[in-house]
Amino acid sequence: MIKVGIVGCKDLYSAELVRILINHPDVDLMWVCDAECAERRLDDVVPGIVGECDLTVQRDCPLDEVDLIYLCGNRQEVCARLGSLDVPDDVNVIDLSGSHNLDHGEEKAWRYGLSEMQRRLLVHGSRMVTVPGNAAAVSLLALMPLARNLMLNSPLELHVTMGAGALPDEGKTIDGMSVEAWARDQQQEIAMVLGMCQSSFSQPVTMSITSVAERRALAVEARFRCGVDEDTIRQLYEQYYEDHNFVFMVDRPITIADVENTNKCLIRIVKDEGSGEVTIHAVTDALLKGCAGNAVHAMNLLYGLHEKAGLALKGSGC
């Protein structure tokens, strides 16, 4: 069993992480620490786990008791916490805050935790993993097969739709950033990672954000021009994702009900053959595949578990 601790438990991402881990067949959740919630029962802080967990939130983080820690909270909090922790070399770290998403690579300490891109590197020798930003993760899933085939050669327009789970306060994201600052950060992350997939990528990336009532919704429409026909593009996607467990191609409009409460990302391809414009639609659950599910997926790879362990989650269907 993997002994796990969680640092920080006040936001929706950490709550989702707790709900996954307490039911994960290969995990013992040893402790959750957060100074602001210390001494409270965890099921008083995290909704939906009454009767499933008897932990009390701790003030301190006993790192000698765990194999892995998850870092949760906004970026300033996580950086401060990590700076104050003396993490032993035999303890792995997965950061959900995005603090290190622009500070990774083979020569850096942090490994970028998008499993569909970094599966082999996560399995072999990774210790510190940073989880992609939620809009970046979905945008990259929508675009990676083309980038891997050197086919992103026109400007990218990304239209992101997010629910209240990711945009809980007007003008702010879940981690307290302004929407404008967050969008700039996500654009930078997307452009950088696409450049890792396609070394020739140098196109401008623009992003617009729309909020919707569906709490867990996260959808991306990626638009660009491409001279390849739609059937060929679809074949490239099917080949790329055929041995992955959470990304699926569909030929119909996608709604949040198709992915809500699951770790799936569904992708639809539409091309206007007259104009040459391609639109890639990608939809996922903002709290799961958009963050906590990605974090658990990365853990499964780090420890040689089946990728779906603890993530065979049930959609709401409504």
Strand partners, 71: 7, 95
Establish if 269 belongs to a structural domain: yes
- Compute the distance between CA of residue 101 and CA of residue 109 in angstroms, rounded to an integer: 11
Strand partners, 27: 2
On the question of pLDDT at 215 being above 90, the answer is no
Q: Give the count of domains, the chain.
A: 2
pTM of the model: 0.92
- Phi, psi (5° rounding) for residue 241? -100, 5
In this structure, the answer to whether residues 110 and 181 fall within a common structural domain is no
Establish if 128 belongs to a structural domain: yes
- The pLDDT of residue 168 is 55
In this structure, the answer to whether residues 294 and 269 fall within a common structural domain is no
In this structure, the answer to whether residues 259 and 243 fall within a common structural domain is yes
In this structure, the answer to whether residues 47 and 186 fall within a common structural domain is no
- Compute the distance between CA of residue 149 and CA of residue 242 in angstroms, rounded to an integer: 16
Share of the chain above pLDDT 90, in %: 66
The per-residue pLDDT for range 221-242, each reduced to its tens digit, is 999 999 899 999 999 999 999 9
- The pLDDT of residue 125 is 74
Q: Which of 140, 121, 64, 128 is nearest to 97 (CA)?
A: 128
In this structure, the answer to whether residues 127 and 155 fall within a common structural domain is no
In this structure, the answer to whether residues 163 and 274 fall within a common structural domain is yes
Q: How confident is the model at residue 171 (pLDDT cuts 50, 70, 90)?
A: low
The per-residue pLDDT for range 34-75, each reduced to its tens digit, is 988 889 999 898 988 898 889 999 998 999 999 999 999 877
Establish if 145 belongs to a structural domain: yes
Number of Cβ within a 10 Å radius of residue 154 = 16
In this structure, the answer to whether residues 124 and 164 fall within a common structural domain is no
293-314 average pLDDT score: 93
Q: Which of 303, 318, 255, 310 is nearest to 288 (CA)?
A: 310
- The pLDDT of residue 154 is 94
- Compute the distance between CA of residue 270 and CA of residue 279 in angstroms, rounded to an integer: 5
In this structure, the answer to whether residues 151 and 280 fall within a common structural domain is yes
Domain containing residue 220: 134-286
Number of Cβ within a 10 Å radius of residue 133 = 24
* Residue 160's CATH number: 3.30.360.10
Establish if 169 belongs to a structural domain: yes
- The pLDDT of residue 233 is 95
Cβ–Cβ < 8 Å for 318, 259: no
Q: How far is CA 208 from the centre of its chain?
A: 19
Cβ–Cβ < 8 Å for 299, 162: no
Establish if 315 belongs to a structural domain: no
In this structure, the answer to whether residues 39 and 110 fall within a common structural domain is yes
